[in-house]
Amino acid sequence: MHLIVLFGPQAVGKMSVGREIASRTTYRLLHNHATIEPLLEVFDWGTEPFDTLKREFRRRVIEEAVAYDLPGLVLTFAWALDVPADTEEVEWMIAPAVEAGARIDFVELYADVAIRLAREGTPERLASKPSKRDTEWARRDVITSNERWVLSTGPEVPFPLDHPHFVIDNTDLSAAEVAEKIIARLGLPT
């Protein structure tokens, strides 16, 4: 199995790019809000049961993807790179793929805050992410998250894991163009 971890800040295009990769390959997609939205029906954001189930569900999906021998899985989420517990969670989450000897690639998407604010509230986001339907709140969250955490690698915060990693600035690229770049760079079967 091949695990592609697609990460970056909110509204950078992770889900859209993941969908484009899945539509062009035999890979499957588990995007961030596929785990978040059902849990929000039962538990409030950030509560212990919400966080526990979100983490466990993602890891279990990876475990079963490895056991089922899926050709590939694209996993998306935002990652506070300056929070050691977030990095530990990522390592724990991908451990089943690591232990199985799966190929693992980290692809980081980047776009500046102005672009991400403009992307907040698009029809695709609103349809797939009910928790983002209050677009004013979602835009404020983009700004406050950007101020609170480091959500992109750089000279101050290098990529913290020992896995292949590359960055795509998708400021001026469509999700389809980004997916094509990832497919070509990683040599994915189409």
pTM of the model: 0.94
Q: Give residue-wise pLDDT tens across range 86-131.
A: 999 999 999 999 999 999 999 999 999 999 999 988 777 667 776 7
- Quote the CA–CA distance of 112 and 50 in Å, as a whole number: 29
Identify the helix (H) or strand (E) that includes residue 151.
none
Q: Give residue-wise pLDDT tens across range 8-51.
A: 999 999 999 999 999 999 999 999 989 999 999 999 999 999 99
Q: What CATH number has the domain bearing residue 160? A: 3.40.50.300
Which residues of the chain form beta strands (DSSP E)?
2-7, 28-30, 72-77, 103-110, 165-169
Host domain of residue 21: 2-186
pLDDT at 137: 86
- Quote the CA–CA distance of 162 and 167 in Å, as a whole number: 15
pLDDT at residue 133 greater than cutoff 80: no
Q: For residue 59, name the pLDDT band (cuts at 50, 70, 90).
A: very high
Question: To the nearest whole percent, how much of the chain has pLDDT over 90?
Answer: 86
Copy the structure tokens of residue 101.
Answer: 């000897």
pLDDT at 125: 66
Do 132 and 138 meet the contact criterion of CB atoms below 8 Å apart?
Answer: yes
Q: Supply φ then ψ for residue 5, to 5 degrees.
A: -100, 110
Pairing state of beta strands 28-30 and 2-7? unpaired
Helix-strand-coil split of the chain, %, nearest 5: 50, 15, 35
Number of domains making up the chain = 1
- Quote the CA–CA distance of 41 and 130 in Å, as a whole number: 10
Q: Give residue-wise pLDDT tens across range 150-170.
A: 999 999 999 999 999 999 999
